[in-house]
Each structure stands twice: as C-alpha cells, then as structure tokens.
A and B are shown apart, each in its own frame.
Chain A
Amino acid sequence: MSDIAVQVDHVSKKFRLYHERNQSIKSAIMRGRRSVHEDFWALKDVSFEVPTGSTFGLIGSNGSGKSTLLKCLAKIYYPEKGTISYQGRIAALLEVGSGFHPELSGRENVFLNGSILGMSKKEVTGKFDEIVDFSGVEQFIDQPVKNYSSGMYVRLGFAIAINVDPDVLVVDEVLSVGDAEFQEKCSQKFVDFKEAGKTVILVSHSMESVREMCDHAAWLSHGELIQVGKADTTIASYLESLHGGAQL
C-alpha cells in the first residue's frame, strides 16, 4: 500500500470545436470526409498526486477544466496525453440518481443503481438497510420513484452512491442537495470516510466547504494547474488572484 491514492501524470485533454460538423451522412459525403474544427485543450499538462486518506479539493473558476478533470478521473473521458493511475477501487459521484427508472419502485432502483455503480447484488443486499436508513425514505421504498419529491429522489440516489464504499471517491458538487439535516448527514459520512482512511476528491465552488473539509487542494485556471498543496494556502492564493483576497 503506497501513500499515493491517485496519480495524475502530465494529463492533457483535447476537445474539438466544430465550426462545421459532419453530423449527418449527407454533410459528410458532400464535404468530403473533412469536418472543420479547431482543437481546444481543456487540460494542459496537469500533474499532481493525491495522498491516500486525504480529502482533496479542486478549485477554480468556471471553465477552468475542473469538471473535465473529474470526468477523466471517473473514466468517462480519456485523456489524449498522460495517464491517471489509482490505488484501489474508484467511484465517481457526478450526478445522483442517474439510471433511475421512474416507473420502478425505490427498492428495485436501489438494486439497479447499485449495479450501475459497480456493486454486486450481495453488496447491495448487505447494505440495503443502511442505504434506506440514510436516505430517510423507508416509508416510500416500495413506491415508484416518479412519485418521489425531488429531495427524496436525490437523497436516495446519494445514499446509494455513498455506500458503494470505494477506496477513492470522486465527487462533483452534489453536496448541496437536500435539506440542512441531510447535508449534516452527508458531511458526517465524509468524515467517517476519511477516518476509514479513504480518499475523497471533490470539486466545489464553495470555498467555505473546501476549507472545512479538504486538507489538500489544487487550483486550475484555463486548463492549467496553477498551484497544488495545502488547502488553506491554495485557497488563499486563489482568492487573492480574484480580487485581492478579500471575500469568500
């Protein structure tokens, strides 16, 4: 067991900005096979290491490449250059409740969503009570999820995802779901996670929560890594760059 949970090594990710895209066969044939595009590098040569057991924050303005990096970590996008290596199992929480079927009951959806997130049936069965308990929807677990309120929907989705029990958890800004009580529960879950020696990588715009939860942070701007290190110092220099470091 090494102390590096995730190693991001010279990762670059390119998107094509199409001026005239061949989205139909007709246009592909009419124009010859060429489509007109220019390359846009959403990530440029980003390298950092995430120590095992740390909570790692990714900060930066909109369009700085945070979400792209997160999707690369989650193996949804594949970088053009560089590699990302992991220690152990990784789970990504980019959206909650993806793959829920509205007509199926909460119970059926727990099993479905669990297996989409990579849990075996045995694992889901073992954790079923915990999931239902955490989501707080036990009364409605046999109702179709289309009848759930949006809060219940999100809570159930989050409860499943948080129980995947990975070694590395990658989280997009999903912390802002549910009511205050549920947020409290989530924060507690992250603390438990950390105590169990698991690694969390999260993206957030709320500097307050990053400062509170993360011990390390990386600051991205226009696809480039500006600074990486202790959360406090990274946040401070990020805020300073924005407007002299005055506000959150």
Chain B
Amino acid sequence: MENTIPRRVYDFLKEFPPFNLLGRDLLMRISERVLVQYRQPGDIIFRQGDPPNTHIYIVREGAVHLLWEKDGEPALVEQCDEGDVFGIRPLLAEENYALTAKVVEESLIYAINVEGFREVLENNPKVAFYLASTFASGVGENYRRQGKPMLFLDQEKMADVNYPLVEVQSLEKSKDPVTCLPDTFIREAAVIMSRREVGSVIVVDEASRPLGIVTDKDLRSKVATGQVGLEKPVAEIMSSPVITVGPDITVADVQIEMVKNRINHLCITEDGTSASPVIGVLSEHDLMVVQGNNPALLIREIRRCRTGKELRHIRERAEDLMKKYIYQEVAIAFISTVMSEVNDELITQSIKLSQAEMDEEGYERPSAGFCWLALGSEGRQEQLLRTDQDNALIFENVPEADLEPTKKYYLKLAEKATHLLNEVGYDFCPGDMMASNPSWCLSLEQWKAQFSTWIFEPSPKAVMYCTIFFDYRPIYGMKELATALTEHIFENIGGQAIFLGFLAKDALQNPPPLTFFRNFVVENGGEHKDEFDIKARAMMPLADAARVLILDAKVGKINNTFRRFEKLAELEPINKELYEQAADAYEILMRYRALQGLKNKNSGRYFNPSELSKMERVNLRNCFQPIKELQTLLTLRYQLAYLG
C-alpha cells in the first residue's frame, strides 16, 4: 500500500537531480527505504579518510559543509543545502572519503542505502552519469579551477533556451590537422606547410599524440635568423608542450585559451589532453572567420554611424554578441569591459554627432572645454543591458560673465545627446539625472562646491545623490576635469569621517536578501509583488559597500564594483577572502541579471525566484553570504550602531 511518509519523501526527492531522472515507481521504492536523520551543528557525518558508509545523503533541510582537511586546516569545498546530494563515494568507488561532511545548521538528512541503489545506476545511465560527473568535478573544485563562477552547470539548461550555442560546425573545417614526426627536417616541414597553405604544423609521435607545434613565427624567429639550420629536425624549434583542447570546445573557450596562453594556435585532441591523438588545429584566423561580430569591428562601425537608428542597430548587434558570451559563460569581467567599450563609443559618437549638428545650426563652441560623465551602472562599467541613462557634464571654469552662455551651450548639447541616446535605446532617466538637467551641467568650480555640500552637510538626499554621482566616469572630452574633481572629493572626505558613516549607513538600508527560512525576500506589493529585486536586494548592497570602502581607501579611477573589491582585497589582506567572495558574487549577480533580462526582454531587475532551477537558486543564495558579512563589517568599522 502507498504509505504517507515515503510519499512525502518521494515528493521532495523528485524535485532534485538525480532523483528527478527516475521513474515514479522506482523512486517510490527508494523513498520507502530512506533513513531520516536529525543532525545538529558540529555533527560529523563522515570524515576525510574514513572508509565509506553504507549510505549516500541528501539534505532535506539545513546545511552541511564538505571540508577538505589539509595539515589540519579544513577548507570549505562546498556547502550542501536543501536538495543537495553528498557522500556518493561509496556508490562509485571502494575508496575512503576524500572530504569531511560537517553539519553547520540543525539539519534533516535523508540517507539512502547504497545496496539497491547500485542497480538503479546500472539501469539508469543518466543517473550514473550525473553522479559520476558531480563526483568527478566536485562543484567546489570546479569553482576554483575556473576561477570564475558559473551559473549553469548542466548543458540541458542551456539547450532549453534554444540558442545556437557555438559555431562548432564552422570550426569543423579546420579539423584536418597537418602533422609531422619530430625527426622531420625543418625544410620538409616548411614545404608541407606551404603546400597545405597552413601557418602551423603539429609535431606528433607515432600514435598521433601531440608533442609540440611549429608555426610561421618559429620559422621566422628561429630559422630565418640563422639560429637553427634547415637540416635540423623540427623537434629543435617546436614549441612544447602544445596547448590542447577537446573537440567540444566553444568559440569563447578558444578565445580565452589563446589569450591566457598568449598563443595563436590550439590543438584539438580526442579527449582534450596531449595523451590522445590530434584531430584538429584551431588558429586565431579560424576564430576571426567564425566571429562575425567582433567587438573591435563594432566599435569601428560606431564611428561611421551618422544617425541614432544606425547606432541603435549596432547596439543590438552588440547585445547579440553579449548574449553569446553570457551563454558561453565567458567571464563577466571580459563581457562588461567589452560592453562598456561599446557603450562608451555609442555615447561618444552621440555627443560628436550632436556637436556637429550644433555647428551646422550655427552655435558657436564656447572656449571652455567640457567632459561628459557617465554615472550609475554605466559609470561603474557594469551596464550589460540597456538601462536608463545617468549622466552629467563638467565644463571648465569660466569668468562670471561667460558662465550663462557657456552653460546654455552645454545644456543644448546635452539635450541633443540625451535625445540621440534615447533613440539608441537608452531611456531617459526618470529621476532626471542627466546632463541636460541644469543642476547636473556645471562648471568644475560649481561641481566642487556641490560635492563639498554633500560631504559636509550629509542628508539622506545628499547620500542618495552621492551613491549615483560618486561612480562617475569620464567618457568624452577633457578627462582632466574629472580627475580634478576626484582629487577635490578625496581632500574633502579626509577631514569628514562622519560622511563615510552616512554612506556606510545607507549601504545597510537593504536587509540581507534571505529570510531565516532561506527563502528569497520578495517584494510585498506593487507591480513586482512576489518578485525578487536582484538590483536593490543583492547588487546595490554590494555596490554601495564597495563604494564606501574604496572612497575610504582613497582609490580613484576604479569604478567597477568587482574590481573595487579586488583592489580592496589587495589593500586589506585581513579581509581578502570576504572581498574576493564579494567580487565573485557580484559577477554572478551581473551574469544572472543579464540572463534574466535577455530571457524576459527587460532590464532583468525583477524575477520570480520560483522560476529558478535548483542550481540557480543555490548559486544565487551563495552570493548572498558576503552581503551579510560586509554589512557586519561596515557596522563595526563605521560604528554605525552609534550613529542611530
């Protein structure tokens, strides 16, 4: 008969991989054999080096840390939350545990006896594959090796979005490798290369395994210079070892490998290592061919655009490019740099076009030069999707008599430029934080006075402006005006500790994004009821914290939130780990927001947490940890408890 209790275990398990891959009857039978274990913080479920238990485990509620102990120092490899499977070693190998599982929160654990589950593996290759891959990589391991956080771990998810992932097909044609043996004479190799019209030849052993590579460059630098004779074997000039990749590599991977290793050729082997036969070669040229939209190309095209419509078209192509990067899990640092370059160029071109138009209309350019500032997310180089414009304008100090006409000219310019940008797809700022607003189109002197007022008379409104204006970045014009303003700000802040306190307090306005039930805090009412506000709840607290800390450290010119954290990690070794986590978290959040924005065709700011996959929820939740810790750090450092 169907028992109520196994049924509830079943209902839980069926939501999580690999159990979601099992048929109903099978999973029900498994559920009937579960042990429900209660564990307290500090309990050890198994210890590194222990012989395997008879069970594998799933967290029903609470949290378990998997720790890797080396020289008595436990390092956190992974946090297992609701639905995570751990301790699967007994299922796959007769080896001792490689990690220690330690309970960190009051937890309920479902333990499943390995006996009987092995047969499940035999009959369900997908389950076996899932477990084997989890086991082999270990999520934590993956995280460290890649250096960059990943949002999606399963390919199926990516297939779901129905996006042409990579141009793997177009890479096919270079899969006819030109090879030679190591004792081939250099002369012969050169003949082969020119006959086959290739820039490189892979040096292989008898089993076709790659030993090294000889490229045009090697011939130029080592042979043509007379350093090595033509009658020597290629082994003398080859670069070794050769960088190898697997056949399922993506364009983005290729790009990253090439940049990372400063090479122009990659060798494709059967299993991606140099221990298997060569099946192809990829050159930078192949890459250029498959990449229609290359950022450098886009930027060159922007400079040729004459209308808002043309610019808009380029921005859309840039977004396609970004989409590819996002889905290929290219590092956010790279994506945001590329997109900022594109944005900056679009803004620059809009200003240039506007100014040219004013010239034609007979406006005379004032003698005082100007600098266009990007504020907010574009100022921080974090704008991936088009959002509202936030900008301001500084012009050089002018004699009192010239102030009005100068300002009038620049307001007109700003009006034209912001309209053009609006056409490109950057909406007007609803709060009118734009250079076309007379309050934000000021001379350097006026700007200095404005910032002094904000710093010396901190009010909630002033703090709000600061959070927007302090992230300014010069885009076009006289960048020295922006530099002078930054210097002024740092001088002022030096004598005004209370101001940083106010900023820090503002950074605590948003409570941590999780309730104690580990659920996302969602909006209570309004248009976005029950949706999670990733910007306000998770990104702004990090951006705000980074701003306060970097201002305090008097580091200018780094606007990007994760770069600010990276800098802070360098400056404060004691909090290095926290800052690094915060930087990683911010990158994940940016990626996530971009994904949501692409999916829902909006700014990606709001989404429903229930639409996330388990993996995504866990990833996001992990991002929230540093927020809490940073807020504690701010509270202590600026003694916010006393500030009231």
Q: Do A and B bind each other?
A: no
Q: Hey, which bits of chain A sit against chain B, CB under 8 A? A: none
